[in-house]
Amino acid sequence: MSGLDCLCAGIVVADFVCTPAPRMPAAGELVMTDGISLAIGGCASNIAVDLARLGRRSAVAGRVGDDLSGRVVRQALAAANVDTSWLLETPGVGTSSTLIINVRGEDRRFIHAAAANSVFDGSELTAELIRSARVLYLGGFLLMPRLLGEAAAKLFRMARESGVLTVLDVVIPDPQGGWDQLQTVLPFTDVFLPNVDEAWQLTGLDDPRCQAERFKEAGAGTVVVTCGREGAVLVDGRRTLRSGSFCVEFVDGTGSGDAFAAGYIHGMLDDLPVERCLEIGSALGASCVRQPGATTGVFDKAELSAFLSTQKLAIERLS
């Protein structure tokens, strides 16, 4: 089995994305927008595509349905140079889909159907497959009912035993019970990457630094809480950092957190200092928001290098 830089496991989604509409329609009202597109979505897909754009060898492990959306997602992933050998088709089940509604001047809204993602339970990942990767990323944790605490911890333990780095991300449809499930897997997690809203749902704490410290206390190696335009906070037990963000024209925030995670992983793969990982993650996240869709506007390797040659991320050491 050929080596992978990152095995991206978790949710795979067909995104239906509209360009920003002037307002939300009232009941029964038709509001026009400039375009609606079908695109790759879901944490595992987005991370794999973003890493492939940076020249990394990435693969997706997950499930799609035996439907048109599933075929479109598989073809798009393959066209992006992502290995889809472990993207399994699930007969009789639809592909997970998200309707993403963008309104000018407002945060995006999501309507989601779990579908095939609800069947994914982690048994699809063999020890041999995990050993073939340098990083195992699990995205959409808490959104997959068959891949919760102990099942995810089992995968991360296998990775740890093989010297494979583990990265965890969450999507929270309902925070009830989420903390208990998370506590099971955090001790086997090298990097945990929630956003500030997810962290609030899990901890009940408002401050991102306090949130990160709570996750660190629960066993995570490094915690990065992303805060959108407010930057990010990193806690790893040796230092606490607060970073700013890059100023770009904002169109659609879909996939920006995944782009940040892909950039951070890209830096990890080169054994770069955490400050540089934050900078790369922030740059990739900023590139994502310039166009509608989760991966459409994300920098490739040359674009990332050119951007960072002229831009500097503000990073403050808090402790």
Question: pLDDT (tens digit, 9 = 90+) per residue, 32-72?
Answer: 999 998 888 999 999 999 999 999 999 999 999 999 999 99
- In one-letter notation, the amino acid at residue 208 is P
**CB burial of residue 16 (10 Å; 0-12, 13-18, 19+):** middle
Q: Is the pLDDT of residue 25 over 60?
A: yes
Asked if residue 200 lies in contact with residue 166, where contact means CB atoms within 8 angstroms, the answer is no
Q: Is the pLDDT of residue 2 over 80?
A: no
Which candidate, 162, 10, 178, 12, places its Cα nearest to that of 94? Answer: 12
Provide the residue ranges of all domains of the chain, joining segments of one domain with +: 4-11+43-93+120-317
Selected residue with higher pLDDT from 37 and 211: 211
Relative to beta strand 232-235, strand 191-192 is: unpaired
d(CA 259, CA 298): 7
CATH code at 4-11+43-93+120-317: 3.40.1190.20
Average pLDDT over residues 288-316: 94
Q: Which residues contact residue 14 at a Cβ distance below 8 angstroms, ignoring those fewer than 6 apart?
A: 38, 39, 40, 41, 69, 70, 72, 73, 95, 96, 97, 98
- In the predicted model, what is the mean pLDDT of the chain? 95
Q: Is the pLDDT of residue 275 over 80?
A: yes
Name the band, by pLDDT with cuts 50, 70 and 90, for residue 1.
very low
In order, the DSSP letters of 236-249 are -SS-EEEE------
**3-class SS at 6?**
strand
Asked if residue 194 lies in contact with residue 215, where contact means CB atoms within 8 angstroms, the answer is yes
Q: Is the pLDDT of residue 161 over 80?
A: yes
Question: pLDDT (tens digit, 9 = 90+) per residue, 222-253?
Answer: 999 999 999 999 999 999 999 999 999 998 88
Token readout for 29 is 């009202």
The model's pTM: 0.93
d(CA 130, CA 293): 29
Q: What is the CA radius of gyration of the chain?
A: 18
Any idea which of 13-17, 49-53, 180-184, 223-227 has the lowest mean pLDDT? 13-17
d(CA 312, CA 156): 34
Asked if residue 47 lies in contact with residue 57, where contact means CB atoms within 8 angstroms, the answer is no
